[in-house]
């Protein structure tokens, strides 16, 4: 079994992806954009044996700045997945061999320890990594929540049948009221889309975290993904009522950023947006439209809305690795002191890594940094 750490400039990155079913989160262009946003160094680990391939992108982050500046933590660092649902991509042969996956995980742990990594947090892909909780140790792989997708391989009639009756009525009402839907490139509409998105985030009382996703970020995303990124607009009387970004890669369409103008909320134009996006995605020969889950992986109103469109559910899995127990506990102790709380309270929380826990805001309700 061979192991290689590769960076974004290595041709092996794209060569490897060309052999595997992957998503936009694994593309070097996307990972590079995320590395800029997170001010972190991007890498991927490649583990292979004959036709069995294991590939995982991640960022390396320094842990200084989390505690008092005069404490020596500059040599402490951890790794984390890019934003979204990256996870592990496997070749077909690897996916059929559970023992290979287990051995590759051991190789991953050894490689990260050799690099001096303190801890690692990976978000897995709800579709590509289905069933990993049955392969990996429960201390490593955890069911963090649930996501929803629409199986586009079903007939149009079956997809419509799986849509809850109240949602079918809402979609039909939007059409009668004159709302129209179309897919367009993002760049000509990036400012309007950003306004709709931020208006939605303000309404949801979301914190500053979301504002790192500004018009400049969306422009960079469009340039990075090219024809793999699409903007769905729902309009009424030449006004944008709802808008959402959709990515398309290897038969998987992801619903990513989106929002609705407050003045149109009662008419629920986002219902028509999901309906149009699934028809559009199916016509293009895709297999899944992944809608995602609730905010912070909770079964909240966002989750309940998505659940009205499909009966298909996926476990959202995360991998949590403590690679240096001594360093990890040391950092947690320092962080607890800075937050004026007990070390055990942070260790027993659901936040990982515990030393990146914060005392308030949106991130506290999520499962990781």
Q: Count of alpha carbons within 13 Å of 342, Cβ hemisphere only?
A: 4
CA dihedral 83, 84, 88, 90 (to 10 degrees): -130
At residue 184's C-alpha, the angle toward residues 182 and 190, to 5°, is 120
Peptide bond between residue 251 and the one before it cis (omega within 30 degrees of 0): no
Between CA 282 and CA 287 the distance in angstroms is: 7
> All domains of the chain, ordered by start, with CATH?
2-145+317-365 (3.40.630.30), 148-315 (3.40.630.30)
- Total residue length of the chain: 369
Which two structure tokens, joined as six digits, stand for 240? 């944008």
Residuewise pLDDT in 10s, the chain (369 residues): 999 999 999 999 999 999 999 999 999 999 999 999 988 999 999 999 999 999 999 999 988 777 665 455 567 899 999 999 999 999 999 999 999 999 999 999 999 999 999 999 999 999 999 999 999 998 899 999 999 999 999 999 999 999 999 999 999 999 999 999 999 999 999 999 999 999 998 887 655 555 579 999 999 999 999 999 999 999 999 999 999 999 999 999 999 999 999 999 999 999 999 999 999 999 999 999 999 998 877 888 999 999 999 999 999 999 999 999 999 999 999 899 888 999 999 999 889 999 998 754 334 344 555
Under 8 Å between Cβ of 355 and 63: yes
> What are phi and psi for residue 11, nearest 5 degrees?
-60, -20
């Amino acid at each position: 079994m061979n192991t290689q750490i590769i960076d974004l400039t290595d041709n092996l990155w794209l060569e490897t992806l060309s052999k595997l079913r992957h998503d936009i989160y694994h593309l070097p262009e996307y990972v590079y954009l995320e590395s800029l946003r997170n001010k972190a160094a991007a890498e991927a680990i490649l583990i292979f044996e004959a036709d069995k391939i294991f590939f995982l992108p991640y960022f390396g982050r320094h842990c200084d700045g989390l505690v008092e500046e005069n404490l020596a933590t500059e040599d402490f660092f951890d790794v984390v997945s890019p934003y979204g649902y990256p996870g592990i991509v496997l070749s077909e042969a690897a996916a059929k061999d559970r023992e290979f996956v287990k051995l590759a995980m051991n190789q991953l742990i050894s490689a990260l320890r050799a690099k001096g990594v303190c801890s690692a947090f990976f978000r897995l892909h709800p579709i590509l990594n289905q069933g990993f909780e049955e392969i990996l140790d429960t201390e490593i792989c955890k069911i963090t929540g649930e996501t929803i997708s629409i199986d586009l391989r079903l007939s149009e009639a079956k997809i419509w049948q799986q849509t809850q009756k109240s949602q079918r009525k809402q979609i039909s009402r939007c059409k009668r009221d004159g709302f129209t839907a179309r897919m367009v490139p993002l760049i000509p509409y990036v400012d309007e889309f950003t306004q709709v998105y931020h208006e939605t985030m303000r309404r949801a009382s979301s914190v500053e975290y979301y504002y790192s996703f500004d018009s400049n970020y969306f422009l960079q995303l469009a340039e990075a993904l090219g024809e793999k990124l699409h903007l769905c607009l729902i309009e009424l009387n030449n006004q944008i009522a709802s808008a959402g970004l959709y990515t398309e890669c290897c038969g998987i369409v992801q619903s990513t950023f989106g929002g609705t103008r407050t003045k149109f909320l009662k008419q629920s134009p986002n219902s028509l947006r999901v309906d149009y996006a699934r028809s559009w995605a199916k016509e293009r020969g895709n297999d899944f439209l992944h809608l995602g889950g609730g905010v912070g992986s909770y079964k909240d109103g966002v989750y309940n809305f998505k659940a009205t469109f499909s009966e298909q559910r996926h476990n959202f899995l995360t991998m949590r690795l403590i690679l240096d127990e001594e360093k990890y506990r040391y950092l947690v102790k320092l962080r607890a002191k800075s937050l004026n709380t007990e070390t055990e309270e942070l260790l027993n929380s659901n936040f990982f890594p515990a030393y990146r826990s914060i005392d308030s805001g949106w991130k506290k309700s999520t499962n990781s940094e």
